[in-house]
Chains A and B, each alone.
Chain A
Amino acid sequence: RKEVEQDPGPFNVPEGATVAFNCTYSNSASQSFFWYRQDCRKEPKLLMSVYSSGNEDGRFTAQLNRASQYISLLIRDSKLSDSATYLCVVHGGGTSYGKLTFGQGTILTVHP
């Protein structure tokens, strides 16, 4: 079983749609969680951290369920510029401090 699993998509949605991505992780000792965004032929960049209480940044909402080892990202009112690959990322902490494990990514295409 992969350490971090995501639905690879692709998701094709019209502008203005709401889209949700899910992710599960296998290591219950994982400490912190993130969503990174990667544009085509570019490097990954941090989109947002994910907190246990859930957090929101504009049109983006991230949720964490530690009991189910499940992370989600919700994008409301999709824009063309949201088209990218979204990577679910887990940080182990402890003796693995600093080390991130990346999911395979979910591809999103927003069309006019």
Chain B
Amino acid sequence: SAVISQKPSRDICQRGTSLTIQCQVDSQVTMMFWYRQQPGQSLTLIATANQGSEATYESGFVIDKFPISRPNLTFSTLTVSNMSPEDSSIYLCSVWDRPFTDTQYFGPGTRLTVL
């Protein structure tokens, strides 16, 4: 299975600032995803970040607000820009482990609070 780490694990930020979340995987993976989990809610896909191509954003999410980098097969970053209290959520990095287990794994999440 793929082991995923995220930094920071949590942060408290001021309105209007930006935060970059890092995701590191212990193996090379092609498919990487970023999810948002608002308090008490399920997971919503923000974007798919495959290495070698631009990130693909889901409806309701835009690159200016959530820029993503994917410089190699083991690392990605998600930036939450110009934050507002509505951005307070858990942000989860995820990968699809193919061809080994064909399973989706998740990182521990970054708990963001915006004041």
A binds B: no
Chain B interface (Cβ within 8 Å of chain A)?
A: none
Chain A interface (Cβ within 8 Å of chain B)?
A: none
